[in-house]
Amino acid sequence: MLSFLRASSRANLSPYHVVIRTLITTENIVESAPEKKLYKKDPPVSSSEPSDSALPASGMSTFGEQFPHYDIVINGGGIVGLSFLLYLQQSPFLSDRKILLLESQKDRPPVNLGELINQERLLSNRVSSLTLASKQFFNNLDVWSNLEPYAKPTRSMHVWSTKYSKGITFTPHRISFVDNLIKDSRCHIPGDDNLCYIIENDIILAGLRNKIRSDCIRFDSKLTNVDAIPGDTTVELTLSDESKITTNLLIGCDGYNSFVRQSSDINYFDLDLSQSAIVGTVQISKESDLDENDVAFQRFVPHNRNVLALLPLTQNFASFVLSVPRNQVNGLMELSDEAFVNLLNENLFLDANVSKNQSMLSFVTNTCDSLLEKIIPSDAASSLPRINPPQVISIEPESRASFPLKFGTTLPWMVGTVKGGDKQKCILIGDSAHRVHPLAGQGLNLGLGDAEILGQYLDEALSNGQDIFSDNETSQEQLNQVLYNVERQRQFKLIPMMTAIHTMQDLFTYLPSNVFTAFNKLNFVKNEIVRFANSR
């Protein structure tokens, strides 16, 4: 167990992969992590630095020089990048191509997932909920069977705001007549008894890493410059060791600070949500001995605009994500464990009425609420997954970590040209193209969807005998067509989903709670929401 711990703490150098305790405790440190500065300040390194004078300043002077060439270069080996690479390795058409993945972190020592299961281990505080489509994707990649022992099946999710009993309970998708109407196979979701699965990010990474042939990964290697000249159908990449390579297609899986994105002409729209998330692992009370702890809870706390999510991890433990206004986060991170547990319980149990404020808005809300209450019969309690929310008993020492929350997206575009070039040569997938609030647990799933669709479309093109990686115009046209089709396909999913996530918080905070009671009865609509969330 210890070695696993040490391994992960060594591996998690990047600002985003804050897994282990003590390493990083406040977002200030997160925000000022060195890598990021490097990207921000000096992107066109090679042209300005004197040490590079011996090297060609741009792609121009590289004429005649032959650098190693790859059909596809993937920048970033997070969960999205590794899944995409594994998809490529498992396609008979794509595994034939020359592929390289660059990852700035060092390789992790292999983790024996089979052995790990029998050991007592510390639960990591970075967890994700996987939708059924993502489970299916991992299943097709043949990694799900290794992940499954660690994945906590979640049977339902209860979302509420003012009153626990006036919330919405989402349950697994049921086959309905809609299934017969839908033609697009991507909207059909695999039948499953569960709503989603909660699993630690580290376990997913280890599962993927164990399956991947590592000869096409270069660890500890960062992209430092991307160069293209008009008319050229390849892109020239400079790596941190100053070696150069060329590629036909550059795929950015390098997270929300994407270097590929910054080196392209794809516009990024971002918004600081002025919120931060605190994550950690807690022990929670069981309702009875039969309680399997298989319900996810999410509360939009009305009086302080916090959002608290509890995701079940094991029989007794859950992972929490608490999003709070940015200015409070340092104070909360400094709280003692007991005080923090109390704070979590307050956020779960505190009744909104306690802090009735006198604003016009709340007056309107309350009036609507009492009107609605008369109309809707209140038998909601019967369908609750638990009579009361679970109580937090204790927090794992030093499991707290915080992240600034931001919203950012390149949509509607994901495909673009590299700065300096005039051909569509790069595509962004995962957080590099869309970073969302964690409240809906969708971020990773959207990224996995991108990876799967991009992989499928590339595979389809090659299986149709298309020549998409050659150095000529026809080939470029065919590659563009593939990339545009991926982009268009993803827009249908990403734009509505991101809009929904972005408005959800306001909806839950301002709508009268009886609206949710009413909504909770619309099983058909809920069923369709579950379908949308779980499909590609």
Ligand X SMILES: Cc1cc2nc3c(=O)[nH]c(=O)nc-3n(C[C@H](O)[C@H](O)[C@H](O)COP(=O)(O)OP(=O)(O)OC[C@H]3O[C@@H](n4cnc5c(N)ncnc54)[C@H](O)[C@@H]3O)c2cc1C
Q: What is the contact surface with ligand X in residues (CB under 6 A)?
A: 14, 16, 75-81, 102-105, 128-129, 222-223, 253-255, 259, 277, 279, 321, 403, 430-431, 438, 441-445, 447
Using CB distances below 5 to 8 A depending on partner kind, what does residue 81 bind out of ligand X, another protein, none? ligand X
DSSP letter for each residue of 87-143? HHHHSTTTTTS-EEEE-SSPPPPP--HHHHTTS--PPPS-EEEEPHHHHHHHHHTT-
CB of residue 269 to another protein, shortest distance in Å: 13
Q: Which residue number, 247 or 476, has a Cβ lying nearer to another protein?
A: 476
Q: Which does 92 bind (CB under 5 to 8 A by kind): ligand X, another protein, none?
A: another protein
4 interface partner picked from another protein, ligand X, none, CB below 5 to 8 A per type: none
Query: Which one, of 67, 71, 140, lies nearest residue 466 by Cα?
Result: 71
Note whether 96 binds another protein by CB under 8 A: yes
Q: Taking CB within 5 to 8 Å according to partner kind, which of another protein, ligand X, none is near residue 129?
A: ligand X
What is the SS3 assignment for 247? Answer: strand
CB of residue 366 vs ligand X: minimum separation in angstroms?
33
Stretch binding another protein (CB under 8 A), from 80-88, 93-101, 173-181, 281-289? 93-101
Q: Which is nearer to ligand X, 129 or 527 (CB)?
A: 129
Q: List the x/- string, 318-337, binding to another protein by CB under 8 A.
A: --------------------
Nearest-approach distance from CB 74 to ligand X, in angstroms: 9
Q: Which does 331 bind (CB under 5 to 8 A by kind): another protein, ligand X, none?
A: none
For the bound state, the minimum distance from the C-beta of residue 485 to another protein, rounded and expressed in Å, comes to 8
Q: Which does 488 bind (CB under 5 to 8 A by kind): ligand X, another protein, none?
A: another protein
If contact means CB under 5 to 8 A according to the sort of partner, which of ligand X, another protein, none does residue 71 touch? none
From the number of C-beta atoms within 10 Å of its C-beta (0-12, 13-18, 19+), residue 98 rates as middle
Interatomic CA distance for residues 483 and 498, integer angstroms = 21
Q: Does the N-terminal peptide bond of residue 34 adopt cis geometry, omega within 30 degrees of 0?
A: no
CA distance 27 to 34: 13
**Residues 390-429: x/- map of binding to another protein (CB under 8 A)?**
-----------------------x----------------
b (16+ CB within 10 A) / e for 317-336: bbbbbbbbebeebeebbeee
Instruction: Select the residue interacting with another protein from 33, 35, 69, 93 (CB under 8 A).
Output: 93
Using the rule CB under 8 A, is 232 a contact of another protein?
A: no
Give whichever of 106 and 213 is closer to ligand X, judged by the CB atom. 106
Interaction partner, residue 83 (ligand X, another protein, none; CB < 5-8 Å by kind): none
C-alpha span between 82 and 202 (Å, rounded): 12
Which of ligand X, another protein, none lies near 466, with the C-beta cut-off 5 to 8 A by kind? another protein
In one letter, which amino acid is 524? F
Which amino acid, one-letter code, is at 15? P
Give the span between the Cα atoms of 132 and 130, in whole angstroms. 7
* Residue nearest ligand X by beta-carbon distance: 78
Closest approach of Cβ 223 to ligand X, in Å? 4
Shortest distance, position 93 Cβ to another protein, whole Å: 5
CA dihedral 350, 351, 353, 356 (to 10 degrees): 30
403 and 30 Cβ atoms separated by less than 8 Å: yes
The answer to whether the beta carbons of residues 18 and 27 sit under 8 Å apart is no
Q: How many CB atoms lie within 10 A of CB 385?
A: 19
Q: Applying CB under 8 A, what is the total number of residues that bind another protein?
A: 22
d(CA 61, CA 345): 64
Task: Kindly identify the residues of this chain, within the stretch 452-491, that bind another protein according to CB under 8 A.
Answer: 462-467, 470, 472-475, 477, 481, 484-485, 487-488
Half-sphere exposure of 325 (CA within 13 A, CB side): 6
Give whichever of 33 and 368 is closer to ligand X, judged by the CB atom.
33
Q: Which two tokens stand for residue 43?
A: 């992107």
Q: Which of another protein, ligand X, none has residue 438 at its interface (CB below 5 to 8 Å by kind)?
A: ligand X
Count the Cβ atoms, other than its own, within 10 Å of residue 90.
16
**Residue whose tokens read 């990876």:** 451
26 lies in the site for another protein, by CB under 8 A = no
Give ∠ CA 10-12-17 in degrees, rounded to 5.
165
Provide the binding-site residues for another protein, judged by CB under 8 A.
92-93, 95-96, 413, 462-467, 470, 472-475, 477, 481, 484-485, 487-488
